[in-house]
């Protein structure tokens, strides 16, 4: 089968099947072999690995994954792409294509059925509108995932690895960094896709921590605080948290916790690091009871 990373091969297969891009699925197919190679390198795919690919499209990246991994499970939501995938991936006996919505898929079951219970390496060229729900779903549902290497909007990648005090730092930065170590592996311009997206993209590698880097009594409560802090990010932290009306949390308890942590009460949430949010959460969680 011809390599789909070469544009004329992609065009030929799309014309053969008279495929029409579906805006609702956010479809942008990669047409640059050097980017595909960088994704494989960033994901650190080897012959022992079981890879879960979300949104294989016409199989462009799947071909590269199949050449490098022991097993590839590709989950595609668009039924119109299944016959194309059956053709483009026919030479590979280590690929299983499944039609379905990844947000409704039991990933633990996939790991058991196709990967011998191994922790999966997730690789994806994600539709930008659904990037965050998919990534956070993989982390929060505690599925057996070793790493996630995804093509996302450049702006989202920057937010995932942002540090305290920077303009990109926010709730997404803290959520991702609680579960994984983020590293941007490549910036990808719009001309590497068909059709061209309106914005630049980036490949980001998220290496899952065996245990989170901070100890938290209640991580859901911590993320409630984080969301409250960033929902009104221009406000000083005590005012932002008080305004969120979190049950059991008063302005007095917030000021007391900040004093104990030697954090100035004039600080804004965007200046607090993950360890500081964890410490504040643990203190305020105690004051709830």
pLDDT in tens, 217-228: 999 999 999 999
37 CB-contact burial (10 Å; exposed 0-12 / middle 13-18 / buried 19+): middle
Q: What is the mean pLDDT of the chain?
A: 92
Confidence of residue 41 (pLDDT cuts 50, 70, 90): very high
Query: Which of 27-31, 61-65, 282-286 ranks highest by mean pLDDT?
Result: 61-65
Mean pLDDT, to the nearest integer, of 97-120? 93
**Portions of the chain given CATH number 3.40.50.150:** 7-208
This prediction's pTM: 0.92
Q: What is the DSSP letter of 242?
A: H
Mean pLDDT, to the nearest integer, of 65-92? 95
CATH number of 7-208: 3.40.50.150
Q: Two tokens at 18? A: 């008279």
The residue among 43, 28, 22 whose CA lies nearest residue 183 is 43
Confidence of residue 205 (pLDDT cuts 50, 70, 90): very high
Helix axes 251-260, 274-288, angle to 10 degrees: 130
What are the residues facing 119 on neighbouring strands?
A: none
Q: Are strands 193-194 and 145-153 parallel, antiparallel or unpaired?
A: unpaired
> Per CATH, which fold does 219-288 belong to?
Helicase, Ruva Protein; domain 3 (1.10.8)
């Amino acid at each position: 089968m011809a390599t789909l990373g070469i544009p004329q091969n992609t065009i030929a297969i799309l014309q053969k099947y008279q495929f029409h891009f579906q805006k609702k699925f956010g479809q942008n197919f990669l047409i640059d072999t050097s980017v595909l190679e960088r994704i494989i390198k960033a994901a650190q795919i080897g012959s022992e690995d079981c890879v879960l690919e979300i949104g294989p499209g016409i199989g462009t990246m799947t071909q590269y994954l199949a050449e490098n991994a022991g097993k590839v499970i590709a989950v595609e939501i668009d039924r119109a792409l299944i016959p194309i995938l059956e053709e483009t991936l026919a030479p590979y006996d280590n690929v299983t294509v499944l039609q379905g919505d990844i947000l409704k898929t039991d990933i633990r079951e996939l790991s058991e059925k196709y990967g011998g219970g191994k922790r999966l390496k997730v690789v994806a060229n994600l539709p930008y509108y659904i990037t965050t729900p998919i990534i956070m779903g993989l982390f929060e549902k505690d599925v057996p995932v070793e790493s996630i290497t995804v093509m996302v909007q450049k702006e989202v990648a920057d937010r995932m690895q942002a540090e305290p005090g920077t303009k990109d730092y926010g709730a997404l930065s803290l959520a991702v960094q609680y579960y994984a170590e983020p590293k941007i592996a490549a910036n990808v311009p719009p001309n590497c896709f068909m059709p061209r997206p309106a914005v630049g993209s980036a490949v980001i590698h998220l290496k899952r921590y065996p245990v989170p880097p901070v100890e938290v009594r209640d991580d859901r409560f911590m993320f409630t605080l984080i969301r409250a802090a960033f929902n009104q990010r221009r406000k000083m932290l005590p005012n932002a948290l008080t305004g969120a009306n979190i049950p059991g949390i008063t302005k007095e308890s917030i000021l007391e916790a900040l004093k104990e942590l030697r954090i100035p009460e004039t600080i804004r949430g965007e200046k607090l690091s993950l360890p500081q949010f964890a410490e504040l959460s643990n203190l305020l969680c105690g004051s709830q009871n």
